[in-house]
Amino acid sequence: MEWFRKVLDPEWAVTPAGGLTGEAYFAEKDDKRLFLKRNSSPFLAVLSAEGIVPKLVWTKRMDNGDVVTAQEWLAGRALRPAEMKLQHVTDLLHKIHQSTELLHMLVRLGKKPITADDRYHAIMKRLNKNQIRHASHEIQEGVSYLETNLSIARQERQTVCHGDMNHHNLLLTDDSRLYLIDWDNAMIADPIADYGMVLNSYIPKEEWNSWLEKYGVQMDNQLLIRMYWYLIADALSFLSFHYERDEQDKFDERLRSLQALNSQMGLL
């Protein structure tokens, strides 16, 4: 029997919500609509209280120790790529990065800050293990950039970061509320790991300065160096990920994106 049958009566219509784990479902009964998930992080309660994710309706512990959460299932859609420039997105990111409540909860849950040194050493270990550190000029150039600018990448406070800032994870409801969902990659790190991804993926370069001003920081050369440092670190991590899974097409695609980043950083 499916686990959700143990927390809902049979009158609820339940359908899979998709995803890789198969741990999430939509449930509907009369005019009530819920999003159910098994073994969500306790972090969800604070995100709900802060208005960053849809409201947490209830939490139930099952006999086997699993925890089921029910959130509001809201009518809405994912943001379109062009909408990532909206002030709502900037404001939501700033709120997350400034929240002491979110930070304290992640610390209580045992999350440790991920420093630039942590990222660098993890990437080098993985590249060496896979024997691809010297596999291409692009990889060697990316590694060289990380090594040369590690001291600059260290120079920032650490906050709660979402870790996967793409438009699919931003839910715009039919009544114009904006939520950031899918917090499985939450971490304590340099916030540029989040907003650098937004800038590079969605914001035209001529608008970077104005976007950053709305977010609350000033653009300078060291900020750009840090931003590219984390983007290159991500690219190298994904190269190892796809290599380990023998996904040659995706590996080649990531290599091309790394080449583009290497070209951009040469202009700094």
Biggest CA pair distance of the chain: 62
Task: Map tokens 């159910």 to a residue.
Answer: 36
Distance of alpha carbon 222 from alpha carbon 147, whole angstroms: 15
Residue 180's region, left for phi above 0, alpha for psi from -120 to 50, else beta, is beta
Contacts of 66 (CB under 8 A, 6+ apart): 3, 38, 39
| Active-site residue flag, 194 | no
Active-site residue, from 9, 164, 234, 249: 164
Helix (H) / strand (E) containing 16: strand 13-16
The pair of three-digit structure tokens given for residue 5, joined into one six-digit string? 């049958």
Distance of alpha carbon 52 from alpha carbon 161, whole angstroms: 13
Distance of alpha carbon 89 from alpha carbon 124, whole angstroms: 33
The pair of three-digit structure tokens given for residue 265, joined into one six-digit string? 């950083």
**Catalytic center residues:** 164
